[in-house]
Amino acid sequence: MKISQIQALIAVAEHGKFSEAALELNLSQPAISHAIATLEEELGVPLFVRGRHGAVLNPAGERIVCHARQILDRIEMMYKEANLHKGLHGGQVRIASFRSVATYVLPFVIAKFQQQFPEVSISLIERFSYQDVEQCLHDGKVDIGITYLPTNDNFEAWEILKDEYIALLPPNANIKASQISWEDIAAYPCVWLPAIPCGRNLHESLKILAPNLPVAYDIQEESTIVNMVKQGLGATILPRLAAEPIPKEIKVYSLPVPLYRVIGVATLAEAFHIPPVFAFLEILKQFKFPSAIELVSLV
């Protein structure tokens, strides 16, 4: 029995389709089909009920896939144990982050770490939201996550950066001051992030500071919001790192009351960390992070 067969079994069980399992494992669909067929032949029982709409585990498959997951977990622990004994002459640090920090913050830290520990590999996973990052931590897919603070008691976390919210107005805005009023922003239709994920703290603050801002569009992607402002469809408020790159035509202003999203590093509370992860966390703790606007200028 091969590890690839076990991985194929779990992937097909989770996705219900051979094609989607193949995408996850970066294999061809025939390779997945062959792995499942040979595994069933070795075990002497079918594992799936196959139909036009995919593949569903049969009773034997449901029990066997539980053992398969345990086997993969044990194999991962074997690698972790081996990496522990390698010290800092090998091993891997797995990090999950949302786009803006992955783009403008982490490359500087990773470069410094790899100057000191070139034999340690870094895996950086970009996720859409802080919830996705925290789920990766919960699932054991990563060692370190970049999230928003405050977070919950499942994590040990600390602040690395405050990212200021800024107002973006369309090119035809004619406000001379660098700081504007809530009324100035309210004069335009608002192109908005939903309350979750990135806009969580902002929405809570605006309920008190500016409850009457007119919301015309509710958009998930920061880049879409920025482009809509560029086309004159409205104004928005975004964290600076999330808004970048900001087209030169857009007018950028400070808010009447400074607001920030607090970005932090999180690990699972009481998690067992191999030496390379400890080393990376120490570099994160010691790293002197510039302001958000300075980080953007360095890229």
Count of structural domains within the chain: 3
Query: Does 150 lie in the same domain as 100?
Result: yes
Pairing of strands 260-268, 215-218: unpaired
pLDDT at site 187: 87
**Which domain-ending residue is among 85, 105, 129?**
85
Query: Does 228 lie in the same domain as 154?
Result: no
**Model confidence pLDDT, tens digit, residues 180-219:** 888 888 889 888 776 545 556 676 777 777 777 767 777 8
Which of 50-64, 70-84, 169-183, 240-254 bottoms out in mean pLDDT, i.e. has the lowest? 70-84
CATH code of residue 8:
1.10.10.10
Query: Does 222 lie in the same domain as 156?
Result: no
**Which domain-ending residue is among 68, 85, 102?**
85
pLDDT at site 26: 84
Query: What does the pLDDT average to over 148-168?
Result: 91
CATH code of residue 277:
3.40.190.10
The answer to whether 236 and 186 are in contact (CB under 8 A) is no
Query: Does 217 lie in the same domain as 267?
Result: no
pLDDT at site 196: 47
Query: What pTM did the predictor assign?
Result: 0.67
- What band does 220 get if pLDDT is binned at 50, 70 and 90? confident
Query: What does the pLDDT average to over 255-281?
Result: 89
**Model confidence pLDDT, tens digit, residues 238-263:** 999 999 999 999 999 999 888 898 99
- What band does 40 get if pLDDT is binned at 50, 70 and 90? very high
Query: Does 253 lie in the same domain as 172?
Result: yes
**Model confidence pLDDT, tens digit, residues 83-121:** 666 667 778 999 999 999 999 999 999 999 999 888 899
**Which domain-ending residue is among 51, 85, 119?**
85
Query: Does 248 lie in the same domain as 135?
Result: no
Query: What does the pLDDT average to over 71-81?
Result: 83
pLDDT at site 84: 60
pLDDT at site 43: 93
Query: Does 266 lie in the same domain as 152?
Result: yes
pLDDT at site 202: 72
pLDDT at site 160: 92
Query: Does 91 lie in the same domain as 63?
Result: no
Query: Does 248 lie in the same domain as 211?
Result: yes
Query: Does 290 lie in the same domain as 177?
Result: no
pLDDT at site 201: 66
Sign of CA dihedral 203, 160, 220, 130: negative
Candidates 77, 136, 132; CA nearest to 267 is 136
Query: Does 98 lie in the same domain as 20?
Result: no
pLDDT at site 194: 65
Query: Does 92 lie in the same domain as 114?
Result: yes
Residue 10 belongs to what domain range? Answer: 3-85
Query: What percentage of the chain carries pLDDT values higher than 70?
Result: 93
Question: Is residue 266 scored above 90 in pLDDT?
Answer: yes
pLDDT at site 126: 93
Specify the higher pLDDT residue, 44 or 210. 44
Question: Is residue 72 scored above 70 in pLDDT?
Answer: yes
For residue 269, give both structure tokens. 């509370």
